[in-house]
Amino acid sequence: MKSEPINSLNSDVLYSEIDNIAILTLNRPEKLNAYNANIFNGLKEGIKKIENRENINAIIITGAGRGFCAGADMDGLKKTTKSNNKITPEDDIDEKLPNEIIGPKIAEHFQTRFGFLATCRKPIIAAINGPCAGIGLVMTLFCDLRFAAEGAKFTTAFSRRGLIAEHGISWILPKLIGHAHAMDILFTGRVFLAEEAFKIGLINNCFPKDDFMESTLEYVKDLANKSSPRSIAVMKSQIYKAFFQNLNDAASIGDLEMEKSFLSEDFKEGVNHFMEKRAPKFTGK
């Protein structure tokens, strides 16, 4: 697996592929991949690069070295205490809404910093290999699935820096882990481990540290090879759209999307591979 910078000017995010899986690696290991403008820009460019690649069925975001993302780069935070100017490192990024080809449209609801992770139609998996804090934690919440290495440390940290719940974490965190747990980890800013994160539903699973990426890849390969890319794309948008719907509206969209799926190539292949007792060859169409 060969990793390369996301572009010639940004080596803070690396891009690589394993079969039909793309991997974006935060690459500031000497600072535990602390978040900065290059991290944001690299991730957004990487997702944009992958979004329409038919040969890629899943995306993994992970960190180089022993950390995932230790939160905002403290040098950047120091600058904010010395100036009244609003720091917006993302200003040079194209903020046009994505081309929503299939499934219910959700971009209007996710015009936040990490909304591009939700609007990307491919499944995005956060492989949390080490410390995950502050804005780094917020980023993972807008991924679709989260796996962590045993003993990985988590913290929101905001309350211990005199800050508040930023970039939509106040909205998405209670939806993932419930009101009481969200209040606890936001109010206290305490450090907790991957084992507790799994217990409260913050992550999907906790894997042994020694074979963490192998275990994560095993799961993602199964997902990427056996599930219809079209089905995942539509269901992802359905789930995120449902956050803003009542039951009747969600069911109505589901009925409409089911009719469309009956006409798809992936539905025909789904039936054929089952009847022929062979591995699927989905096209995503």
CATH of the domain at 51: 3.90.226.10
Q: Which two tokens stand for residue 175?
A: 């939806």
Q: What is the pLDDT of residue 283?
A: 92
To 10 degrees, the CA torsion angle through 173, 178, 179, 181?
-80
Determine the Cα–Cα distance for residues 174 and 171; give it in Å rounded to an integer. Answer: 6
Report how many domains make up the chain. 2
Domain that holds residue 254: 227-275
pLDDT reading at 208 higher than 60:
yes
pLDDT reading at 73 higher than 90:
no
User: Residue 90's pLDDT band (boundaries 50, 70, 90)?
Assistant: very low
69 within a domain of the structure (yes/no): yes
168 within a domain of the structure (yes/no): yes
Same domain? 214 vs 244: no
Order of strands across the sheet that contains 21-26: 4-7, 10-18, 21-26, 58-63, 124-128, 145-149, 205-207
Q: What is the pLDDT of residue 100?
A: 72
More confident residue, 154 or 3: 154
Domain boundary among 210, 225, 240: 225
Q: What is the pLDDT of residue 6?
A: 75
Report, as an integer, the average pLDDT of 120-136.
97
285 within a domain of the structure (yes/no): no
Same domain? 85 vs 96: yes
DSSP string, 217-262: HHHHHHHHHHS-HHHHHHHHHHHHHHTTS-HHHHHHHHHHHHHHHH
Same domain? 161 vs 115: yes
Determine the Cα–Cα distance for residues 39 and 14; give it in Å rounded to an integer. Answer: 10
Q: Percentage of residues in the chain with pLDDT exceeding 90?
A: 82
Report, as an integer, the average pLDDT of 57-85.
77
Q: Distance of alpha carbon 255 from its chain centroid, rounded?
A: 27
284 within a domain of the structure (yes/no): no
Same domain? 78 vs 211: yes
DSSP string, 96-149: PPP---SS---GGG--STTHHHHHSSS-EEEEE-S-EETHHHHHHHTSSEEEEE
CB 220 within 8 A of CB 125: yes
pLDDT reading at 146 higher than 60:
yes
Give the single-character DSSP code of 12. E
Determine the Cα–Cα distance for residues 161 and 89; give it in Å rounded to an integer. Answer: 20
Q: What is the pLDDT of residue 57?
A: 97
Q: Which residues of 52-70 are buried (b: 16+ CB within 10 A; e: fewer)?
A: eeeebbbbbbbbbbebbbb
Which helix or strand (DSSP H or E) is residue 191 part of?
none
pLDDT reading at 7 higher than 70:
yes
Q: What is the pLDDT of residue 8?
A: 67
Same domain? 175 vs 236: no
3-state secondary structure of 87: coil
Report, as an integer, the average pLDDT of 204-231.
97
Same domain? 102 vs 128: yes
User: Residue 96's pLDDT band (boundaries 50, 70, 90)?
Assistant: low
